[in-house]
Structure 1
Amino acid sequence: MMQKQRAKGQRESIFNNEVVSRFELYNSLFLTLPFYKVKDTGTLLPLFIKYCEDGINNHQTPATIIDAFFKKYTQNNSNKDIIDLLFRFIQYIERQVVLFDAVEDASFNKLNAADEHNALLSYLKKGIDNKALNDKIEKLIDEFSLRLVLTAHPTQFYPGSVLSIITDLTTALKTNDISTINLLLQQLGKTPFFNKKSPTPVDEALSLAWYLENVFYFAAANIQSEIDKSLNDYNLESKKIIELGFWPGGDRDGNPNVHTDSTIQVSKMLRQILFRCYYRDFRNLKRRITFRGVEEHIAIVQDVLYKNAFDPNIETENIADFLIENLNNIRATLMDDHDGLFADLASDLIRKVELYGSHFASLDIRQDSRVLRDVHAFCRQRKPIISLFPENYDSLSEAEKIKALSFKSARINYSENKDSLINDTLQTITEIKQIQESNGELACHRFIISNCQQASDILQLMELFLWNGWEETDLSIDFVPLFETVHDLADAGGIMETLYAHPFYKKHLKRRGNKQHIMLGFSDSTKDGGYLMANWSIFNAKVALTETANKHNIQLAFFDGRGGPPSRGGGKTHRFYASMGKEIANKNIQLTIQGQTISSQYGSIDSAEFNIEQLINAGISAGIKETHNILLDPLHKELLDVMAKESYEAFVDLRKHPLFLSYLEKFSPLSLLSKITISSRPVKRNSGGALKLEDLRAISFVTAWSQLKQNIPGFYGMGTALKNQEKLGNWDKVVKTYQESGYFKTIIDNCMMSMSKSDFAITAHFANDKEYGAFWKMLHDEFELSKSMLLKLSGHETLMENYPVEKRSIAVREKIVLPLVLIQHYALERLQTEITAEEQQSYEKLAIRTVYGIVNAGRNLA
């Protein structure tokens, strides 16, 4: 215990010296930059921050605080001048956030040196004299995999140009290169952070591919190299563990801007970027291998890589095996004839080709089950399929529908015009085959059915493939149900039981190696049921689904739709996986990474390697350890069941409050999010109608609460549930569950993280609002109750006491962006008054611009 405390103290000291102090030092460089009134802006900003802090402590409104500041410190208080200075504050703070990110990233290895640990190597060492453990390790290695899936979400704000500057700035900060830092800060000041118009899905894919090309290409290969070395040292065969996935261009759920041509363009783009990476590495290889005996293979590889990297007219095909064969020949010659000189360079490129093939990352296709049902209904009215189904098919029971499915291959003739969504689905099903032929099967082999509510949702989709160019025996597609709502999660086990027992699906799974992918979504489950119920529903669904899969001898791979914040499944991700017990399939870790999570956890090679390694360690540890969490003990399961139910009821009561949605619309920038030019995806699914909670996308819902600094989806109901247990005399049981269950502890830790990024003092003046005062007080009371109960449960005096570095980082970031929060509220407040059309446009723009910096500083707020 003392050693852990000492390590925490050392990390905190390093953070203060390496991050906070250096940020303050380099922050002063901003004042010397040759920008419009930059000295005036930089001089006034600290005074403005002090005014904001004092005003909040006195429960003043943003308008009162800002008006008083301008009256005291500026001479010309015209509306135009006020808005002009506020915009300059925003631009200044945005770049402060980038600088802080870069300083923190530059210190990453020093901050995390003590945490580095190769779990695989550790267990291999233990297995030397323990045959049972050794056998278990070998079996786990054979089955284990980690898939990271990059998704395009409208909270990854930085374009590629800014990301490149951040990368170079981080490098310069590592060596304290003042001259280069100064130049890069100047470049940062002149580089626009945002698009003038919303990006297309292909634009988003290109932006996200920056991370594939500049981070994951190296980081994943480096980790795989360590794994290969560890296995080789113990005479074990190498095993590919890391896989990459990609959603931009394939995810069309709720995004009418994704079309078949987007999917095709993105698959081609991924391929070309990958071969340019290969070609870049190969040129380094060729510069070193100047010996005789390899000329022929060098020439062959160079010609193939060059054409695939730069010739847009080349007929593409999967050439991964061809490349590996020739590279292996080169390596063999180096080993046999040249003492292995530079063989490591050949091995590195071979490893990358084995990891990324001809595709780089698997492009997942996703569509809503309601759309897919419409497509199936459309096809049933076409010849020759029409004769196979009864006219009343849609009104049949689920069992009757499944019985009516025939799974006959056919070519449907579509003569009339189709609905755009129907047309896109049918074209995409056809084009997936072409993508597989060009880039390999792994390029596009998963179709995710979101809002999956019944077994027929999957079986009907399989029929659509059979009716559009696919044969049963070559159906090289994994059909992935996505269960999200509390109700759907409860039904998931039964749905999969029906599928596993279905003859056609059973045969299909056998051809796919008896491996089933199932996606579970945190975002909509949290919006639907609140924080605790979402987590507990997903846990119970995983238990039920694992039990069902084991019964049918199916290898299960859970794919977790995890966002950045704890309310969308984020937080201490590796701890979440390490806490899974033997009751849950955990040998294939798959998760989405999105929003600021990409830049904060995978923004550099160092941080990406660290976080990938942590996830692998978590999976290996969970698979090997003998003791697991106690949650399936009837006593503790019942306790969590009751707490989740009580938390759920509290959250649902809040959602049903007549002021719930109007409060969010009035006091947060929710209604303005659709005007932010950062995403191709609409803010809500029913883009043409009035705002309804069920149509609101979870990311917009969570973002709105985070902008308010209230983070309701990340804690609401926790305090009520814990207090009720205390009143019932069950407190000792709750404490025991917290102390013994890594899973429950992770939930609590992530909840405390979410609450650490909340600050109700900023909106304390809402308490005096005639219409919303009582509602704000209800939110605040639950926050205070949750905070007190969580501290009592953990035995801590402050939130995140166990994570002093992360806590300090959050505190510094919140201080940096505090003025943005006040400016946002000020602008929203002004928008409620009678103003001119020109003023309305200015205040809307002001409010919108604050969103970027607040989210970027939070790193996992949306």
Structure 2
Amino acid sequence: MMQKQRAKGQRESVFNNEVVSRFELYNSLFLTLPFYKIKDTGTLLPLFIKYCEDGVNNHETPAKIIDVFFKKYTQATATKDVIDLLFRFIQYIERQVVLFDAVEDASFSKLNADDEENALLSYLKKGVDNNPLSDKIEKLIEEFSLRLVLTAHPTQFYPGSVLSIITDLTTAIKTNEISTIHLLLQQLGKTPFFNKKSPTPVDEALSLAWYLENVFYFAAANIQSGIDKTLNDFNIEPKKIVELGFWPGGDRDGNPNVHTDSTIQVSKMLRQILFRCYYRDFRNLKRRITFRGVEDSIAIVHDILYQNAFDPNIDLNNISDQVIEHLTDIKNTLLQDHDGLFADLVSSLIRKVELYGCHFASLDIRQDSRVLRDVHTYCRQNKPIVSLFPENYNDLSEVEKIKTISFKSAKVQYTEKPDSLTDDTLQTIAEMRQIQQSNGELACHRFIISNCQQASDILQLIELFLWNGWEETDLTIDFVPLFETVHDLEGAAEIMETLYSHPFYKKHLQERGNKQDIMLGFSDSTKDGGYLMANWSIFNAKVALTETSNKHNIKLAFFDGRGGPPSRGGGKTHRFYASMGKEIANKNIQLTVQGQTISSQYGSIDSAEFNIEQLINAGISAGIREKHNILLDPVHKNLLDEMAKDSFDVFVSLRKHPLFLSYLEKFSPLTLLSKITISSRPVKRNSGESLKLEDLRAISFVTAWSQLKQNIPGFYGVGTALKNQDELGNWDKVVETYNESGYFKTIVDNCMMSMSKSDFAITAHFINDKEYGAFWKVLFDEFELSKAMLLKLSGHQTLMENYPAEKRSIAVREKIVLPLVLIQHYALEQLQGKVSEQEQQSYEKLAIRTVYGIVNAGRNLA
């Protein structure tokens, strides 16, 4: 314990000396650069920040803070001049956030130097004289895998040009190259941060591919290299552990801008970028291997890689085995005839080809079950399928539907032109086969059914494949149900029991190695039932689904749809996996990486390797220990059941409050998010209709609350749940659960992280609002109650006390963007009054621009 306390203290000291001090130094350099036409903007900004801090402490309105500042320190009186200077402040602050990112990333290795050692190596050492443990490790390695899936959710704001600057700036800061830093800061000041128009799905894919090319290509291979070496040292056969997945261009759930053409383009783009990476490595290899006996193989590999990297007209085939064969010939010649000189370079490239094949990352296809039901209905109206189903099929019970489904392979004769969603689904199903033939089966082998509510959703989708170009004997597709709402999570095990018992589906799973992926959504479950209920519902669903899968001898892999913030499954993610007991399948960790989590946790090779290693450590540790999870003991389970229900009731009551949605619309930029040019995806489903909470995307819902600095989805109801248990005399049991359950402790820690990024002082003046003052107080009272109860539970004096460096990082970031929050509130406040059309456009743009910096600074706010 003392050692951990010392490590925390050292980390905090390193953070203050390495990060805060250097940021202040480089920030003073940055603020003196004369970027913009308004004189002394950088000089005025520190004054403005101080004025904002004082105004918030005095609970003044943003309008008063800004108006008084301009009268006191500037000559700007006209509305246009005020807005112009505020825009300049925003531009500076956006770049201050980037600078802080770079400074913090430059100190990454020092800040994380004391973290736990490689779990695999640790257990292998223990297993040397312990045969049962050694056998257990070998079996776990044989089954274990980690899949990271990059998704195109609209909070990844940095364009590739800015990401490159961050990378170069981080490198320069590591060695204190002042002249280079000065030049990069100038470049940063003149580089645009956002698009003038919304990106297409292919644009989004290209943007995220920057991370594949510049980070994951190296980081995943380095991790795999370390694993291979460790296993070789203990005479264990190497095993591919790290896998990559990709959603942009494949995820069409609620995004009408994703079409089959998008999917095809992205699959080709991923392949071409990958071969350019291979070719880049091969050129370096070729410069070293200048010996006799390898000339022919070198020439052959060069031609293969070059053509696939740069020739757009080449016939696309899965040639990874061919490339590996030629590289292996080169390696063997080096070992036999040239003392193994540079054989390690060849081994490195072979490892990458084994990891990434011809696809780089598996492109998942996702569509909503309601759309897929409509597609099934459309197909049933055409020959020869029409004869297989009764006219009232849609009105049949679930049991009757399943009995009716026949899985007949057929070539459907379509007589009427389908609607756009139906047409896209049918084309995509057919195109998945071509993608597999071009890039390999792993290139596109999963179809995710979101909003999955019944077994027939899966079985009907299988029929769509059999009717559109696929054969039962060669159905190389994994069908992945996505359970999202609290209600759907409750019924998930029953649905899978029906599927596992179904003869056709059982046979299909046997053909797929008796493996089943099941996706669980954190975001919608939180929006549906609140933070505690969402986490508890997912835990219970995992237990029930694991039991059902084990009963049928199915190897289950949970695919967690995690967003950035704790309210969407983010936070200390690896601790969730480390805390799983033997009752939850945990040998195949799969999770989405989205929004600012991509740049904050996987933005550099160092940070990516660290976070991948953390997840692998968590999985290995949990797999070896396989402890019983105490949350399943009757006392602890009943306790969490009661707390989750209390939290759920409070959250649902808040959602049903007549002012709930209008509060968000008035005081947050919710209604303006659709005008932010960062995503091809609409802010809500049914985008042509009026705003309804059920149609609002979880990411927009969470973003709106984070912009308000209230983060309601990340804590609301937790305080009441804890207080109720205290009043019932169960507090000792709650404390015992916190101390003994890693899962519950992680829920609490992540909740405190979410609350640390809240600041109700910013909106304290809402209390005086005649319409919304009482509602604001309801939110504030639950925040204060939750804070008090969580501190009492943890025994801490402040939130995140046990993570001092991260707590300090959050505090600095919140200070940097405080002016952005106030400018946003100021702009929204002005829009409530009488303004000209031109002023309305200006204030809307002002509010929209603040969103970028606030989310970027938060790193996992949306």
Pair 1:523 & 2:523 matched: yes
Match of 2:200 in 1: 200
Residue 560 of structure 2: SS of its match in structure 1? strand
Task: Please give the residue correspondences for 1:49-88 in structure 2 after superposition, counting only pairs within 5 Å.
Answer: 49-88=49-88
Pair 1:241 & 2:234 matched: no
Match of 1:230 in 2: 230
CA contact (8 A) 2:215 2:602 kept: yes
Residue 115 of structure 1: SS of its match in structure 2? coil
Q: How far apart are 1:777 and its partner, in Å?
A: 0.1
Q: How far apart are 1:629 and its partner, in Å?
A: 2.9
Match of 1:119 in 2: 119
Q: How far apart are 1:315 and its partner, in Å?
A: 0.3
Task: Please give the residue correspondences for 1:785-824 in structure 2 after superposition, counting only pairs within 5 Å.
Answer: 785-824=785-824
How far apart, in 1, do the equivalents of 2:254 and 2:627 lie? Answer: 42
How far apart, in 1, do the equivalents of 2:813 and 2:854 lie? Answer: 9
Pair 1:19 & 2:15 matched: no
How far apart, in 2, do the equivalents of 1:624 and 1:76 lie? Answer: 66
Residue 274 of structure 2: SS of its match in structure 1? helix
Residue 248 of structure 2: SS of its match in structure 1? coil
**Letter paired with 1:580:** M
Match of 1:276 in 2: 276
CA contact (8 A) 2:366 2:448 kept: yes
Q: How far apart are 1:56 and its partner, in Å?
A: 1.0
Residue 678 of structure 1: SS of its match in structure 2? coil
Match of 1:711 in 2: 711
CA contact (8 A) 2:719 2:786 kept: yes
Task: Please give the residue correspondences for 1:683-698 in structure 2 after superposition, counting only pairs within 5 Å.
Answer: 683-698=683-698
Q: How far apart are 1:31 and its partner, in Å?
A: 3.0
Residue 723 of structure 1: SS of its match in structure 2? helix
Q: How far apart are 1:34 and its partner, in Å?
A: 3.5
How far apart, in 2, do the equivalents of 1:32 and 1:49 lie? Answer: 16
Residue 293 of structure 1: SS of its match in structure 2? coil
Q: How far apart are 1:38 and its partner, in Å?
A: 6.7
1:319-357 deviations in Å (ceiling 9; x for gaps): 010011111111011111111100000000000000000
Match of 1:731 in 2: 731
Residue 549 of structure 2: SS of its match in structure 1? helix
How far apart, in 2, do the equivalents of 1:445 and 1:39 lie? Answer: 57
Q: Note closer, same or farther for the CA distance 1:273–1:626 as it changes in structure 2 (3 Å cut).
A: closer
CA contact (8 A) 1:156 1:594 kept: yes
Residue 481 of structure 1: SS of its match in structure 2? strand
Pair 1:601 & 2:570 matched: no
Residue 165 of structure 1: SS of its match in structure 2? helix
1:284-335 deviations in Å (ceiling 9; x for gaps): 1110000011111111100110110000000000001001111111101111
How far apart, in 2, do the equivalents of 1:661 and 1:220 lie? Answer: 43
How far apart, in 2, do the equivalents of 1:377 and 1:491 lie? Answer: 24
CA contact (8 A) 1:32 1:39 kept: no
CA contact (8 A) 1:559 1:591 kept: yes
CA contact (8 A) 2:38 2:85 kept: no
How far apart, in 2, do the equivalents of 1:428 and 1:6 lie? Answer: 55
1:740-759 deviations in Å (ceiling 9; x for gaps): 00000000000000000000
Match of 1:382 in 2: 382
Q: How far apart are 1:627 and its partner, in Å?
A: 3.1
Between 39-48 and 184-193, the greater mean CA deviation after superposition: 39-48
CA contact (8 A) 2:149 2:244 kept: yes
CA contact (8 A) 1:527 1:713 kept: yes
Task: Please give the residue correspondences for 1:170-181 in structure 2 after superposition, counting only pairs within 5 Å.
Answer: 170-181=170-181
How far apart, in 2, do the equivalents of 1:368 and 1:476 lie? Answer: 21
CA contact (8 A) 2:34 2:40 kept: no
How far apart, in 2, do the equivalents of 1:22 and 1:31 lie? Answer: 14
How far apart, in 2, do the equivalents of 1:296 and 1:511 lie? Answer: 40
Q: How far apart are 1:32 and its partner, in Å?
A: 3.3
Q: Would you say how many aligned residue pairs link Structure 1 and Structure 2?
A: 862
Match of 2:620 in 1: 620
How far apart, in 2, do the equivalents of 1:579 and 1:395 lie? Answer: 44
How far apart, in 2, do the equivalents of 1:793 and 1:72 lie? Answer: 46
Residue 76 of structure 1: SS of its match in structure 2? coil
How far apart, in 2, do the equivalents of 1:2 and 1:431 lie? Answer: 58
**Letter paired with 1:190:** K
Residue 544 of structure 1: SS of its match in structure 2? helix
Q: How far apart are 1:415 and its partner, in Å?
A: 2.9
Pair 1:399 & 2:403 matched: no
TM normalised by structure 2 equals 1.00
**Letter paired with 2:510:** K
Residue 556 of structure 1: SS of its match in structure 2? strand
Q: How far apart are 1:474 and its partner, in Å?
A: 0.3
CA contact (8 A) 1:31 1:39 kept: no
How far apart, in 2, do the equivalents of 1:677 and 1:800 lie? Answer: 34
Q: How far apart are 1:47 and its partner, in Å?
A: 1.1
Gaps of 5+ in 1: none
CA contact (8 A) 1:379 1:412 kept: yes
Pair 1:296 & 2:288 matched: no
**Letter paired with 2:198:** S
Pair 1:456 & 2:456 matched: yes
CA contact (8 A) 2:382 2:415 kept: no
Match of 2:131 in 1: 131
Q: How far apart are 1:456 and its partner, in Å?
A: 0.1
Residue 162 of structure 1: SS of its match in structure 2? helix
Match of 1:781 in 2: 781
Q: How far apart are 1:74 and its partner, in Å?
A: 1.0
RMSD, matched Cα: 0.7
Match of 2:656 in 1: 656
How far apart, in 2, do the equivalents of 1:430 and 1:669 lie? Answer: 41
Residue 480 of structure 1: SS of its match in structure 2? strand
How far apart, in 1, do the equivalents of 2:173 and 2:254 lie? Answer: 41
Q: How far apart are 1:76 and its partner, in Å?
A: 2.9
How far apart, in 2, do the equivalents of 1:713 and 1:642 lie? Answer: 19
Residue 127 of structure 2: SS of its match in structure 1? helix
How far apart, in 2, do the equivalents of 1:646 and 1:31 lie? Answer: 50
Pair 1:46 & 2:46 matched: yes
How far apart, in 1, do the equivalents of 2:38 and 2:496 lie? Answer: 61
CA contact (8 A) 2:33 2:42 kept: no
CA contact (8 A) 1:159 1:207 kept: yes
**Letter paired with 1:719:** G
Q: How far apart are 1:33 and its partner, in Å?
A: 2.1
CA contact (8 A) 1:831 1:840 kept: yes
CA contact (8 A) 1:116 1:610 kept: no
Q: How far apart are 1:263 and its partner, in Å?
A: 0.1
**Letter paired with 2:840:** Q
1:49-68 deviations in Å (ceiling 9; x for gaps): 11111111111110011111
Match of 2:748 in 1: 748
How far apart, in 2, do the equivalents of 1:612 and 1:544 lie? Answer: 28
Match of 2:766 in 1: 766
CA contact (8 A) 1:578 1:621 kept: yes
CA contact (8 A) 1:813 1:858 kept: yes
Match of 1:342 in 2: 342
How far apart, in 1, do the equivalents of 2:86 and 2:399 lie? Answer: 62
How far apart, in 1, do the equivalents of 2:404 and 2:110 lie? Answer: 63
**Letter paired with 2:36:** Y
How far apart, in 1, do the equivalents of 2:810 and 2:37 lie? Answer: 29
How far apart, in 1, do the equivalents of 2:610 and 2:298 lie? Answer: 34
How far apart, in 1, do the equivalents of 2:629 and 2:801 lie? Answer: 23
Task: Please give the residue correspondences for 1:381-530 in structure 2 after superposition, counting only pairs within 5 Å.
Answer: 381-530=381-530
How far apart, in 1, do the equivalents of 2:6 and 2:518 lie? Answer: 42
TM normalised by structure 1 equals 1.00
Task: Please give the residue correspondences for 1:298-377 in structure 2 after superposition, counting only pairs within 5 Å.
Answer: 298-377=298-377
Match of 1:586 in 2: 586
Gaps of 5+ in 2: none
How far apart, in 2, do the equivalents of 1:3 and 1:528 lie? Answer: 42
How far apart, in 2, do the equivalents of 1:34 and 1:717 lie? Answer: 49
Q: Percent identity?
A: 87
CA contact (8 A) 1:629 1:740 kept: no
How far apart, in 1, do the equivalents of 2:18 and 2:662 lie? Answer: 44
1:536-576 deviations in Å (ceiling 9; x for gaps): 00000000000000000000000000000000000001111
Match of 1:720 in 2: 720
Q: How far apart are 1:116 and its partner, in Å?
A: 4.9
Q: How far apart are 1:512 and its partner, in Å?
A: 0.1
Match of 2:558 in 1: 558
